[in-house]
Amino acid sequence: MRSLPPEQRFNAALSDPAILEAVIAAPAGLSGLPIERHKALADDALKERYGEQLAEVSEVEEVYTTASSALGMAGGDLFKASGMRKEHFDELLGGLERSVDSRRRAA
C-alpha cells in the first residue's frame, strides 16, 4: 500500500476485501492512508459487519440517556417536595441505591 501513489491507496483498499481487512487491522500509519481515510474505512467495515448490533446498542444508549435524565428530574422534584436538607436527602437516596444494587447482585 505504501508503495502506491497516495491517490491510489484508498481505491486499492476498496478493490480487494483481503487488502481492506489488512489495512483496517493495522495502524493507520502502516497503510500510508491519512488517519481520517483509515478511520472511515474501519468505521464502514464495522457498520457492514455489525450494523444491526450497533443499531441495537445505539437504541439502548438512547433509552438509557432518556431514563437517566428522567430519573434526575424526578430526583430533583422529590428533593424539592421533601423539604429535607440536601445532605440528608442525598444520604437517604444513597442508602436506597445501595439497597437496590445489593438486591440486583443477589438476584
Q: Give the DSSP H/E element, type plus range, for residue 96.
A: helix 86-106
Block residue for cell numbers 438476584: 107
pLDDT at 100 over 90: no
Residue owning grid cell 430533583: 76
What does the block give as the cell for 46? 464495522
Q: What is the mean pLDDT of residues 70-99?
A: 90
- Band the pLDDT of 95: cuts 50, 70, 90: confident
State the pLDDT at residue 102. Answer: 85
The grid coordinates of residue 51 equal 450494523
In the chain, what percentage of residues exceed pLDDT 70? 100
CA distance 81 to 100: 22
Mean pLDDT of 29-33: 85
Q: Say whether pLDDT at 65 is over 80.
A: yes
pLDDT of res. 28: 87
Residue 8: band (very low, low, confident or very high) from pLDDT cuts 50, 70, 90: confident
Question: Cα(59)–Cα(65) distance, rounded to whole angstroms?
Answer: 10
What's the pLDDT score for residue 96?
83
